[in-house]
Amino acid sequence: MRFAKFLVCSTAFLFLTSTALFSQTSTTTPAKPKAATTTHTTSTYDRTLLKPSLLKDTAPATYQVKFETTRGDFTVTVHRDWAPNGADRFYNLVKHHYYDGARIYRVIPNFVAQFGINANPPVNMAWTHATIKDDPVKEKNLRGTLTFAKTGAPNSRTTEIFINLKDNTGLDPQGFAPFATVDGNGMNVVEMFYDQYPDPADAGEQPNFEKGGEKYIASKYPKLDTIKSATIVGGTSSTTTKPGH
């Protein structure tokens, strides 16, 4: 369904259309000292999330979302004019607390940090086919931008998002449309997310993550960092930075 949804192969960016996975073999990177994280279990959730067709609100022209994570807090600013369909989808998901309790389950050093699999299996199943239409790519996938993952098929975006850890402009011509950017020094938090597990895409973990939710992920990947909450906090922020800074 959502998992990681594009493949990087040598110097060219290729779609992995047959399995809808996003696979990347990381280059050798010195291990970062990482503290163990706390396991979070989500037992309740907004039942509206079981009916994606009801979540159709139009987002403001700009808005901020605060992420509270096991590594610290950071804020992102969303620009609806960059990618209206993506901005609207993100707005509705955050408004109904879709990302609360979700793991940042795939972090490839010097590439991306990805999240978007809900902690609750019933919610994951509800969003399997809840796709949105593609947006034209107006902004570059620069360091600090947020972009929805997708397959090679048209109009395949659902709930998964990645934060670019470096300038990934090779994704631009393949239809990956950024819709937001991390504010201020927020990338200091993002770059601390746990990245020492093998790539879950290579292990074929998508069905397990979606069907097992937090219970399964915590049992096998307990050190993955968690989004404690993602909430809408206001209008245009004075701390907004340009992508790539």
121-180: pLDDT as tens digits:
999 999 999 999 999 999 999 999 999 999 999 999 999 999 999 999 999 999 999 999
**Over residues 187-195, mean pLDDT:** 98
**Over residues 75-94, mean pLDDT:** 98
Task: Inform me whether the pLDDT recorded for 244 exceeds 70.
Answer: no
- What is the per-residue pLDDT for 213? 97
- What is the per-residue pLDDT for 43? 59
- What is the per-residue pLDDT for 201? 83
For the segment(s) 60-234, the CATH number from 3.90.1150.10, 2.40.100.10, 3.30.70.2860, 1.20.140.10 is: 2.40.100.10
- What is the per-residue pLDDT for 1? 40
**Over residues 33-57, mean pLDDT:** 72
Residues of the chain by 3-state class (helix, strand, coil), percent to 5: 20, 20, 60
Q: How do the domains of the chain map onto residue ranges?
A: 60-234
- What is the per-residue pLDDT for 62? 98
What strand order describes the sheet that includes 161-164? 106-108, 112-115, 161-164, 145-148, 178-182, 72-79, 62-69, 227-234
Give the C-alpha distances (Å, rounded to integers) separating 152 from 16, 49, 174: 7, 26, 8
In this prediction, residue 42 has a pLDDT band, given cuts at 50, 70 and 90, of low
- What is the per-residue pLDDT for 202? 85
In this prediction, residue 235 has a pLDDT band, given cuts at 50, 70 and 90, of low
Task: Inform me whether the pLDDT recorded for 2 exceeds 80.
Answer: no
In this prediction, residue 234 has a pLDDT band, given cuts at 50, 70 and 90, of confident
- What is the per-residue pLDDT for 206? 82
- What is the per-residue pLDDT for 203? 86
Give the C-alpha distances (Å, rounded to integers) separating 29 from 26, 110, 111, 217, 221: 8, 9, 12, 24, 20
Q: Which of 105, 88, 112 is nearest to 2 (CA)?
A: 105
Q: Which of 110, 144, 147 is nearest to 30 (CA)?
A: 110
